[in-house]
Structure 1
């Protein structure tokens, strides 16, 4: 009986682990969209602020993502890192393009 319980528990965990990435990816996508909006408006400090929020969520999503979703979440993390670095140096246009790339990866990773 205990073997069945362990087996069922393991199967439920294995099936549900991919689901955990979605809330983080959704939160990261929302924050990244706000970063893009502020970047297009030239508000570099807000772009960086939202990109940092998105980065935290994207890292959490990447930690539990699998397969192709993991590839896209990792790419989104990289793009958000670039967004923050360019934003901190005042390169708003480049930071915005990096944030737009992150949006694409977050959308692809959350299908």
Structure 2
């Protein structure tokens, strides 16, 4: 009976961990996409807010990721960091391009 209980607990923890990773990727994608949209409309400060949130979630997801997925998430983090830097400098066009690149990497991390 104990073995069965331990098995269920183990399966539960695996599922919770997988859900948390998917949740971080979904939230990161949502905010990176919002950053791109606001950047296209010239709203630098809103782009910055969304890029920061996306970066937090990309970094959280990359902690558990492996292989190609991890590589894409690391690239997304680099692009989001650059989007943040560029938007803080007032370069909305360049920031938007980096946010858009991050969206691509986040999407590719799910494949």
TM-score normalized by structure 1?
0.85
- The gaps in structure 2 that reach 5 residues or longer are none
Decide whether the 8 Å contact of 1:18 with 1:65 is kept in 2: no
Alpha-carbon spacing, 1:63–1:26, altered in 2? closer, same or farther (3 Å): same
Q: For residues 28-73 of structure 1, what are the alpha-carbon distances to aligned partners after superposition, in whole Å with 9 as ceiling and x for unaligned?
A: 0000000000000000000000000100011001111111110001
> Residues 29-108 of structure 1: matches in 2 within 5 Å?
29-108=29-108
Moved more, 52-61 or 17-26: 17-26
Give the Å deviation of 1:20: 3.7
What do you get for the CA RMSD once the two structures are aligned? Answer: 2.1
State the distance in 2 between where 1:75 and 1:20 align: 20
Secondary structure (helix, strand or coil) at the match of 1:29 reads helix
Give the Å deviation of 1:21: 2.1
Secondary structure (helix, strand or coil) at the match of 1:42 reads coil
Structure 1 segments, 4+ long, off by >3 Å, are 1-6, 15-20
TM-score normalized by structure 2?
0.85
- The gaps in structure 1 that reach 5 residues or longer are none
Give the Å deviation of 1:23: 1.1
Count of equivalent residues: 110
